[in-house]
Amino acid sequence: AGLMRRLFPDGKLVFIIRHPYDVCLSCFFQDFRNPIVRANTQTLNDIAQWYIHVMDLWHQYCDTLGLEYHTVRYERLVEDFDAEVQSRCQYRDIPWQEQMRDFNVSARQQGGVVTASYHQVTEGLYRHARYRWRHFSGQLNPIVPRLRPFVERFGYSSD
Protein backbone atom coordinates (compact mmCIF):
# COMPACT_ATOMS: atom_id res chain seq x y z
CA ALA A 1 0.00 0.00 0.00
CA GLY A 2 2.85 2.37 0.82
CA LEU A 3 4.62 1.65 -2.46
CA MET A 4 1.38 1.92 -4.41
CA ARG A 5 0.76 5.31 -2.83
CA ARG A 6 4.21 6.45 -3.94
CA LEU A 7 3.84 5.08 -7.47
CA PHE A 8 0.20 6.12 -7.94
CA PRO A 9 -0.40 9.11 -5.66
CA ASP A 10 -3.94 9.60 -6.99
CA GLY A 11 -4.74 5.88 -7.05
CA LYS A 12 -7.75 4.50 -5.26
CA LEU A 13 -7.23 1.40 -3.17
CA VAL A 14 -9.74 -1.31 -2.41
CA PHE A 15 -9.30 -2.87 1.04
CA ILE A 16 -10.99 -6.25 1.33
CA ILE A 17 -11.67 -7.47 4.84
CA ARG A 18 -12.97 -10.68 6.29
CA HIS A 19 -13.54 -11.71 9.87
CA PRO A 20 -10.00 -11.96 11.33
CA TYR A 21 -10.65 -15.40 12.81
CA ASP A 22 -11.74 -16.67 9.39
CA VAL A 23 -8.67 -15.14 7.74
CA CYS A 24 -6.34 -16.92 10.14
CA LEU A 25 -8.22 -20.20 9.89
CA SER A 26 -8.22 -20.03 6.10
CA CYS A 27 -4.46 -19.42 6.06
CA PHE A 28 -3.98 -22.40 8.37
CA PHE A 29 -5.73 -24.67 5.87
CA GLN A 30 -3.74 -23.39 2.87
CA ASP A 31 -0.61 -25.01 1.52
CA PHE A 32 1.31 -21.90 0.55
CA ARG A 33 4.17 -22.37 -1.90
CA ASN A 34 5.94 -19.08 -1.30
CA PRO A 35 8.65 -19.79 1.29
CA ILE A 36 8.16 -16.48 3.13
CA VAL A 37 4.42 -17.02 3.40
CA ARG A 38 4.90 -20.67 4.33
CA ALA A 39 7.31 -19.70 7.13
CA ASN A 40 4.69 -17.36 8.59
CA THR A 41 1.80 -19.81 8.39
CA GLN A 42 3.08 -22.94 10.13
CA THR A 43 0.96 -22.53 13.27
CA LEU A 44 -2.12 -20.57 14.23
CA ASN A 45 0.11 -18.51 16.50
CA ASP A 46 2.41 -17.65 13.57
CA ILE A 47 -0.57 -16.73 11.42
CA ALA A 48 -2.11 -14.51 14.10
CA GLN A 49 1.21 -12.72 14.63
CA TRP A 50 1.61 -12.17 10.89
CA TYR A 51 -1.98 -10.93 10.60
CA ILE A 52 -1.35 -8.45 13.42
CA HIS A 53 1.84 -7.18 11.75
CA VAL A 54 0.13 -6.76 8.38
CA MET A 55 -2.94 -5.00 9.79
CA ASP A 56 -0.80 -2.75 12.01
CA LEU A 57 1.25 -1.80 8.95
CA TRP A 58 -1.90 -1.16 6.93
CA HIS A 59 -3.29 1.17 9.61
CA GLN A 60 0.08 2.90 9.96
CA TYR A 61 0.10 3.58 6.21
CA CYS A 62 -3.48 4.83 6.35
CA ASP A 63 -2.66 7.21 9.21
CA THR A 64 0.73 8.37 7.91
CA LEU A 65 0.01 8.60 4.20
CA GLY A 66 -3.68 9.47 4.37
CA LEU A 67 -4.59 6.59 2.09
CA GLU A 68 -7.91 6.85 0.33
CA TYR A 69 -9.56 3.46 0.11
CA HIS A 70 -12.85 1.70 -0.28
CA THR A 71 -13.62 -1.24 2.00
CA VAL A 72 -15.23 -4.39 0.66
CA ARG A 73 -16.43 -6.80 3.33
CA TYR A 74 -16.17 -10.44 2.27
CA GLU A 75 -19.32 -11.45 4.10
CA ARG A 76 -21.40 -8.79 2.32
CA LEU A 77 -19.80 -9.70 -0.99
CA VAL A 78 -21.01 -13.29 -0.82
CA GLU A 79 -24.45 -12.19 0.42
CA ASP A 80 -25.06 -9.43 -2.14
CA PHE A 81 -22.43 -9.64 -4.84
CA ASP A 82 -24.06 -7.14 -7.17
CA ALA A 83 -24.38 -4.38 -4.56
CA GLU A 84 -20.82 -4.81 -3.28
CA VAL A 85 -19.24 -4.93 -6.73
CA GLN A 86 -21.34 -2.05 -8.01
CA SER A 87 -20.21 0.00 -5.02
CA ARG A 88 -16.59 -0.80 -5.79
CA CYS A 89 -17.12 0.00 -9.46
CA GLN A 90 -18.63 3.35 -8.55
CA TYR A 91 -15.68 4.15 -6.28
CA ARG A 92 -13.21 3.28 -9.06
CA ASP A 93 -15.26 4.92 -11.83
CA ILE A 94 -15.61 1.58 -13.61
CA PRO A 95 -18.90 0.80 -15.35
CA TRP A 96 -20.82 -2.19 -13.98
CA GLN A 97 -21.09 -5.02 -16.49
CA GLU A 98 -23.37 -8.02 -16.18
CA GLN A 99 -20.54 -10.43 -17.02
CA MET A 100 -18.76 -9.42 -13.80
CA ARG A 101 -21.02 -11.97 -12.13
CA ASP A 102 -19.33 -14.67 -14.20
CA PHE A 103 -15.79 -14.13 -12.86
CA ASN A 104 -15.48 -17.87 -12.23
CA VAL A 105 -16.25 -18.66 -15.88
CA SER A 106 -13.63 -16.14 -17.01
CA ALA A 107 -11.09 -17.63 -14.59
CA ARG A 108 -11.70 -21.14 -15.96
CA GLN A 109 -11.46 -19.91 -19.56
CA GLN A 110 -8.12 -18.28 -18.75
CA GLY A 111 -6.84 -21.48 -17.20
CA GLY A 112 -7.33 -20.35 -13.60
CA VAL A 113 -5.63 -17.71 -11.51
CA VAL A 114 -2.35 -17.66 -9.61
CA THR A 115 -3.42 -17.43 -5.97
CA ALA A 116 -3.51 -19.77 -3.01
CA SER A 117 -7.27 -20.04 -3.50
CA TYR A 118 -7.15 -20.62 -7.27
CA HIS A 119 -9.60 -23.53 -7.12
CA GLN A 120 -12.11 -21.46 -5.14
CA VAL A 121 -12.05 -18.63 -7.68
CA THR A 122 -13.14 -20.99 -10.44
CA GLU A 123 -15.99 -22.36 -8.26
CA GLY A 124 -17.82 -19.08 -8.00
CA LEU A 125 -19.31 -17.58 -4.87
CA TYR A 126 -20.39 -19.75 -2.02
CA ARG A 127 -21.49 -18.93 1.51
CA HIS A 128 -20.28 -21.94 3.49
CA ALA A 129 -16.94 -20.31 4.37
CA ARG A 130 -18.58 -17.37 6.16
CA TYR A 131 -17.93 -17.54 9.88
CA ARG A 132 -16.36 -20.96 9.45
CA TRP A 133 -14.21 -20.13 12.47
CA ARG A 134 -17.18 -20.88 14.73
CA HIS A 135 -16.70 -24.60 14.04
CA PHE A 136 -13.11 -24.30 15.29
CA SER A 137 -13.58 -21.84 18.14
CA GLY A 138 -11.90 -24.17 20.65
CA GLN A 139 -8.76 -24.43 18.52
CA LEU A 140 -8.75 -20.68 17.91
CA ASN A 141 -9.08 -19.76 21.61
CA PRO A 142 -5.32 -19.19 22.08
CA ILE A 143 -5.22 -16.46 19.39
CA VAL A 144 -8.60 -14.85 20.06
CA PRO A 145 -7.37 -12.29 22.64
CA ARG A 146 -4.66 -11.04 20.27
CA LEU A 147 -7.05 -10.73 17.32
CA ARG A 148 -9.96 -9.24 19.28
CA PRO A 149 -8.85 -5.59 18.70
CA PHE A 150 -9.13 -6.16 14.94
CA VAL A 151 -12.45 -7.97 15.31
CA GLU A 152 -13.78 -4.92 17.13
CA ARG A 153 -12.08 -2.36 14.87
CA PHE A 154 -13.64 -3.95 11.78
CA GLY A 155 -17.05 -4.23 13.46
CA TYR A 156 -17.25 -8.00 13.72
CA SER A 157 -18.54 -10.11 16.57
CA SER A 158 -16.51 -12.57 18.62
CA ASP A 159 -19.58 -14.76 19.06
pLDDT in tens, 124-133: 566 667 889 9
**Do residues 9 and 87 touch, judged by C-beta distance below 8 A?**
no
* Region 40-55 average pLDDT: 95
pLDDT band (50, 70, 90) for residue 111 = low
Q: pLDDT > 70: what percent of the chain?
A: 83
Q: pLDDT > 90: what percent of the chain?
A: 45
pLDDT in tens, 131-147: 899 999 999 999 999 99
Using CA atoms, how far apart are residues 21 and 24, in angstroms rounded to an integer?
5
On the CB side of 26, how many CA atoms lie within 13 Å of its CA?
15
Using CA atoms, how far apart are residues 12 and 112, in angstroms rounded to an integer?
26
The one-letter amino acid code at 147 reads L
For residues 81, 87, 90 and 92, what is the CA-based torsion angle, rounded to 10 degrees? -90
DSSP per position, 48-103: HHHHHHHHHHHHHHHHHH---EEEEEHHHHHH-HHHHHHHHHHHHT----GGGGGH
